[in-house]
Structure 1
Amino acid sequence: MGRAKNGVFGWRNHSMFGLVVAGLLLSSTAVARDGTDAEYLWIQDPWTGESVLTAVRAPDYSLWDPTQISDYQAARNADYPPPLAILTIDALDIQVPVWNGAEEHVLDRGAGRIKGMAKPGEEGNFGISAHRDSFFRALKDIEQGTEIVVQTTHGVDRYAVSEIEIVPKHDSSVLELTDDKRLTLVTCYPFYHVGHAPERYIITALPLLAKAPDG
């Protein structure tokens, strides 16, 4: 949505926009353009305070663990700061808000930026984690070349999956800082393992305009 310039919209239009926003905030769910249920959220850059209102599709619970469904529904009623990004993988029907931090209570609500890694929109390795039995369940079907979109207050970044690997859970090499811009998705593995998973499923994605490294 464009910003008003030189008062073009006028007082009446600003008032109407305020009423619309107020209505969205009072009713956190609405209907997205494709007819699916959607939740309206402010995404906010926690370092600048800039905010943007956006719609997020309601998650598909059909493949979720029942405990995760319950935890998510409880988390929706908790007090959270605004997420800093929206992660979308249309090929897998994944769309999830990304909060700053990957603590357990954050992952009950959505996905989390792994602290210490790059901030969204920056050069470097931007790491996002989510549970294998909820929001990242469908990652088991991801393929090389799959497009991943990250929306922030700064705009939209598009990535393509360049590598899929499975590593021991204590292998932190995939979280190392990099000079190039990239996206790393992390979840537990195996996907249907009962109990604490011994491995991690790692997706590396590079900006669509960049080429995968040789070798």
Structure 2
Amino acid sequence: MTRKTLKKVSGGLIVLGLLVLLFPFFLFGYSKAMSNALREEAESSYNVENSPENPVQELTAYIISEKDKSSDTGETIPAHEEYQTGLYPEPAPELIVQPKNGEVIGMLTIPNLGINEAILEGTGQKELAKAPGHLPDSVFPGQIGTSIIAAHNSSTFRQLDQLEEGMEFSVTTEQGVFTFSVTGQQILNVNDTLPNMAYPAIALETCYPLDALYLTDKRLFVEASLIKSELKPKQKESLN
């Protein structure tokens, strides 16, 4: 190999190395620009305010049964109106229409990390380059089971490990506002799965370690459980 060829090869490797180093910064800038536009769309679409018609449901278990039951007064109580206090808040109902990949489905607000971002349906590269994404195979935020929200460690979730047990964050969707409390963290291999809880739960996922400038085979999960739900009036009507 001639000296001229060596110079070309070394020059190409240097350029390639610079591109690899600069890519996270490009991704961060692109994600920031896209998330700002998506946040405005989400804020206008999913703004939920507390009001007498939109009461807060705290520590109220939602019992799903196959048939109606009778109360002590002899009145028939529909299955969806049977509650038991002390377990978990009223969960989100089933969706009537499933969102398509790339659609804005809500807002993720984490005060401790200064995060207030739109959530897209889907966790492909196209979605995660713009904003946090909801894993379609998991339940919708606020429903019974474990909902998974993923984002890049170079953008939205770059400080995800700072979320400690007891810290709260919320997810706002067309169904209402759902507040979660962090229960813990764990690091898993990329092919490992989380259990689908029997109560409303959520897991925030990102690549680990958080400062990695390359693809990794580890994932950090911050797990949380539902502690408060504020269903929109139309959602409460759908249960009756």
What TM-score do you get using the length of structure 1 for normalisation?
A: 0.61
Question: In 1, are the aligned partners of 2:28 and 2:154 still within 8 Å (CA)?
Answer: no
Q: CA deviation at 1:178?
A: 2.7
Q: Which residues of 2 match residues 47-62 of structure 1 at below 5 A?
A: none
Q: What is the aligned partner in structure 1 of residue 139 from structure 2?
A: 118
Match of 2:207 in 1: 188
Distance 1:84 1:135, change over 3 A: same
Computed over aligned residues only, the root mean square deviation of the Cα atoms, in angstroms, reads 2.5
CA deviation string 1:125-147 (max 9, x = no partner) = 11100001101112121111110
Q: Is the 8 A contact 1:94 1:138 kept in 2?
A: no
4+ runs deviating over 2 angstroms: 69-78, 176-179
Matches within 5 A, 1:164-183: 164-172=185-193, 174=194, 176-183=195-202
Which amino acid in the other structure matches residue 192 of structure 1?
D
* Number of equivalenced pairs: 144
Matched, 1:105 2:126: yes
In the TM superposition, what is the alpha-carbon distance from 1:154 to its structure 2 partner? 1.6
Inter-CA distance 65–206: structure 2 relative to 1 (3 Å threshold): same
Aligned-pair identity (%): 25
Q: Equivalences for 1:122-161 in 2 at 5 Å?
A: 122-161=143-182
Deviation at 1:71, TM superposition (A): 3.2
- Give me the whole-angstrom Cα distance separating, in 1, the residues matched to 2:109 and 2:214: 28
Give the aligned partner of residue 222 of structure 2: 203
Q: Helix, strand or coil: the match of 1:137? A: coil
Which secondary structure state, in structure 2, belongs to the residue aligned with residue 144 of structure 1? coil
Given the two structures, how large is their TM-score scaled by the length of structure 2? Answer: 0.55
CA apart distance, 1:194: 2.6
1:88–1:94 CA contact under 8 A, matched in 2? yes
Q: Does 1:66 align with 2:58?
A: no
1:87 correspondence with 2:87: no
Deviation at 1:121, TM superposition (A): 2.9
Runs of 5+ in structure 1 lacking a partner? Answer: 1-63, 210-215
Work out which of the residue numbers 143, 148, 163 in structure 1 matches 2:184: 163
The answer as to whether partners of 1:96 and 1:110 remain within 8 angstroms in 2 is yes
Paired with 1:85 and 1:171, the residues of 2 have a C-alpha distance of 27
Amino acid aligned to 1:160: S
How far, CA to CA, are the matches of 2:107 and 2:33 in structure 1? 20
Please give the alpha-carbon distance, in whole angstroms, between the structure 1 residues aligned to 2:147 and 2:137. Answer: 9
CA deviations over 1:148-180 (Å, ceiling 9, x no partner): 1011112110010001111112212x1x43321
